[in-house]
Amino acid sequence: MGKLNPQICTIEIGIRSLREVQIFPLSLADQTKTARILAKAFQEIMEKLSSFGGDGENPGEDSLSSMAKQLSDIDVMEFIASAIQENLEIILELVVDKEEMLSMEELTNEQFYNLVEIIYEVNYEATSKNFMALLKRVRGAVPPEKKMRKKVSHSKKPSPESAVGTTTD
């Protein structure tokens, strides 16, 4: 995958009948936009999850409060699914031609997973690996400041002026 050309993938989607859809890579601007969308969605999900947190009830709770807790779990899942769907549709507009646009109603769970995996692999996986490798190379080329100070302090030798006035009898 050493090409600089965009990598276009084709996937089959559909419930009752399959059709092919081309998935295009994101531009650099769209990658940044997508990362912001996903970060915001993740933050909203985390905030919502914390608002559904337990209320410190004892483990021996009665059936009514147990049912309420299960309902709140359903609310959490509904919120997460809604956040994913809203944001996926925005992202799909960036990676699929308008003529081939697909909807959540056309996707199975497996197709959805494959689609998300393709978007990640094509747009983020190799790039993140390359940046991490570059970061390691840069760290290796520039020694940390502490190590430089230690080398300097160990390499100091007494100057001839500091030896003046000492006697060796």
Surface-to-core class of residue 26, CB atoms within 10 Å of its CB (0-12 exposed, 13-18 middle, 19+ buried)? buried
Q: Which of 163, 72, 88, 149 is nearest to 120 (CA)?
A: 88
What per-residue confidence (pLDDT) applies to 20? 95
The string of pLDDT tens digits covering residues 19-62 is 999 999 999 899 888 888 888 887 887 777 676 554 445 444 56
pTM check: above 0.75: no
pLDDT at residue 65 is higher than 80:
no
Domain ranges of the chain: 28-53+66-106, 107-152
What per-residue confidence (pLDDT) applies to 161? 54
